[in-house]
Amino acid sequence: MLLRKFNLKFKFLLLIGTLLGLTLTLSYLITSQLMTDSLTEEATLRAMTISQGIAQYSQEAILTRDRLALETMINEAFKDPAILYIFIVDVKQNILAHTDMTQQGRTYFPSALQGQRQVKGSVELVTSSDSDGRERLDVITPILFAGQKVIGAVHVGFSKRPIYETVAQSQKKIRLFILLALCVGLLGAWLLAYIIVKPIRRLVQGVKAITEGEYPQIQMKSNDEIGLLVSNFNEMSRNLREKELIKRAFSQYVSENILESFLQNPMSLQLGGTRTEATILFTDIRNFTALAEHLEPSEVVHILNDYFAAVVEIIQKYEGTLDKFIGDAVMAIFGTPLRHDNDEERAVRAALEMNERFQLLKQKWVREGYPEIEIGVGINTGEVIAGNVGSLQRLAYTVIGNSVNMAARIEKLNKRFHTQILISASTYKRLESILDAIPLPPTRVRGKSEEIQVYVVVGFRAEPLSHRNVEFGTEEYKLI
């Protein structure tokens, strides 16, 4: 829990330092133990060699009681600094010669020597501690006459203190080396942590920038896992930027389904256009310009907001695209950028629902004291050029072409014929099997030299007349 408070570099250093420290400490302990065991083994062999050598050459001196010869041998061997004492006893445990002259002639009691005993061949090893707590090794070698009869024994006391002193001196050097290795290791770990953490910090900064609405690209050339992570981050940032661009361009104008379609294919959001077939819908409030001259600005905005809110909701319900607001008029597109098999039907159903909703709004406005007004809807299906126009900083998705102009002209005919919803012949041909519509006499429109055929929409045949409950604001209206 405490480590959560520290940054990644500190955690990395702590981990590497701990592992390095444990490894070096373990190596130090193992090395010290191996060194101690090796020196102990060497000292034991040396003590056994000295003891066996004295035993071999002291046979005649013991038999002849030549104390001078015995003392000469043990004093010569006593020059080894690791030897504590040497003495020779006969079979009755009488001390014949001793490096401590005061002990000569006394009786030796083997039971006084307590410790861990070990036998190697004919030699007995006893590990014990003296009164000062210093560990020592007693080597007892029998003196054999003619290789068979025991005539005495050689006792060599060997101190382990020189061994420990040698090990201690070596340990000082090892500790110094460990300290140096630890410093070098920590420095290397810090450099490695810096190399690893630096791009991670840049990634953290990049993620933070994304949460703030920016989509940076991190420049770093590396073929390792960090480089792959940075590359994936850059790809993610580009994708998010493209999706955000789509959201900004379309979130206020299209339904969630259309927006999701763009998000799944960001490459479609590019400058330029393509030829495609679409159904275009125009709707506006009839004579609204003259009406607005007699209303307060706030009242004009109030009526338009009510009307536009209903229109936009219906367009998105039928998965059309809101192209633009033109004064009190609205232009919508069905069939691009998201295509359905029944885009013409969706457009006409949207127009019917717009008219139904408008009748409810008109009743509401009349109760509020506004004069009665009507709307007109014009629909046409044909080839258009669809795409994003503008700049990379500000894009607008739209359609252009004669089919768009024709839909606008058809919508204007509603005023001439006192109708609400008119559709072109191209739209009607796709729906004649399911749509009831009344043909009007061929008529001319501005921009066309030939007469065109339009139809007044009555309704879809498959739909029986029914009561609909429409909730608006705090009031509920029944549409028959």
- Residue pLDDT, tens place only, 270-323: 555 789 999 999 999 988 887 888 888 888 999 999 999 999 999 999 989 888
Position 9 pLDDT exceeds 60: yes
Peptide bond into 337 cis (omega under 30): yes
Residue type (1 letter), 79: K
Q: Which of 131, 166, 201 is the last residue of a domain?
A: 166
Residue 222 placed within a domain? no
- For residue 141, list its beta bridge partners: 154
Of all residues in the chain, the percent with pLDDT exceeding 70 is 86
Q: Confidence band (pLDDT; 50, 70, 90) for 77? A: confident
Contact 16, 8 (CB under 8 A): no
Say which CATH number the domain at 374 has.
3.30.70.1230
Higher pLDDT, 138 or 147: 138
Selection from 416, 461, 459, 462 nearest residue 440 by Cα:
416
Contact 285, 302 (CB under 8 A): no
Q: Confidence band (pLDDT; 50, 70, 90) for 1? A: low
- Residue pLDDT, tens place only, 367-391: 988 888 899 999 999 999 988 776 6
Sequence-distant (≥ 6) Cβ neighbours of residue 27 within 8 angstroms = 178
Sequence-distant (≥ 6) Cβ neighbours of residue 253 within 8 angstroms = 321, 322, 323, 397
Residue 432 and residue 297 share a domain? yes
Residue 10 placed within a domain? yes
- Residue pLDDT, tens place only, 407-449: 999 999 999 999 999 999 999 999 999 999 999 999 988 878 8
Residue 256 placed within a domain? no
Say which CATH number the domain at 88 has.
3.30.450.20
Contact 88, 96 (CB under 8 A): yes
Count CB-CB contacts under 10 A for residue 437.
19
Sequence-distant (≥ 6) Cβ neighbours of residue 348 within 8 angstroms = 379, 421, 423, 427, 431, 435, 457, 460
Count CB-CB contacts under 10 A for residue 263.
16
Q: What does the block give as tokens for 297?
A: 């600005």
Of all residues in the chain, the percent with pLDDT exceeding 90 is 26
Number of domains in the chain: 2
Residue 154 and residue 279 share a domain? no
Three-state secondary structure string covering 102-171? HHCCCECCHHHCCCEEEEECCEEEEEEECCCCCEEEEEEEEEEECCCEEEEEEEEEEECHHHHHHHHHHH
Residue 48 placed within a domain? yes
- pLDDT, position 479: 28
Residue 80: in which H helix or E strand, if any?
none
Residue 11 placed within a domain? yes
Give CA–CA dist 242/234, Å, rounded. Answer: 12
Q: Confidence band (pLDDT; 50, 70, 90) for 468? A: very low
pTM for this prediction:
0.50
In degrees, rounded to 5, the angle at the alpha carbon of residue 279 between the alpha carbons of residues 274 and 281 is 120
Give CA–CA dist 268/254, Å, rounded. Answer: 15
Residue 114 gets the label, from left (phi > 0), alpha (psi -120 to 50) or beta, of beta
> Could you give the 3-state DSSP secondary structure of residue 461?
coil
Higher pLDDT, 268 or 116: 116
Q: What is the mean pLDDT of the chain?
A: 81
Residue 411 and residue 293 share a domain? yes
Q: Which of 147, 166, 185 is the last residue of a domain?
A: 166
Q: Which of 132, 148, 166 is the last residue of a domain?
A: 166
Task: Sheet with 116-120: list strands edge to edge.
Answer: 95-98, 83-90, 149-159, 135-145, 123-129, 116-120
- Cβ-in-10-Å burial (0-12, 13-18, 19+) of 257 comes to exposed
Higher pLDDT, 8 or 57: 57
Sequence-distant (≥ 6) Cβ neighbours of residue 162 within 8 angstroms = 43, 81, 82
Residue type (1 letter), 436: D
Judging by DSSP bridges, how do beta strands 395-400 and 272-285 pair with one another?
Answer: unpaired
Residue 290 and residue 153 share a domain? no
Residue 412 and residue 276 share a domain? yes
Residue 189 placed within a domain? no
DSSP one-letter string for 327-395: TTEEEEEESSSS--TTHHHHHHHHHHHHHHHHHHHHHHHHHTTPPP--EEEEEEEEEEEEEEEE-SSSE
Position 465 pLDDT exceeds 60: no
Sequence-distant (≥ 6) Cβ neighbours of residue 79 within 8 angstroms = none
- Residue pLDDT, tens place only, 328-371: 899 999 998 888 899 999 999 999 999 999 999 999 998 988 88
CB neighbour burial string for 345-370, b if at least 16 within 10 angstroms, e if fewer: bbbbbbbbbbbebbbbbbeebeeeee
- Residue pLDDT, tens place only, 201-225: 777 777 888 777 777 787 777 777 7
Structural domain that includes position 445: 267-479
Residue 183 placed within a domain? no
Residue 408 placed within a domain? yes
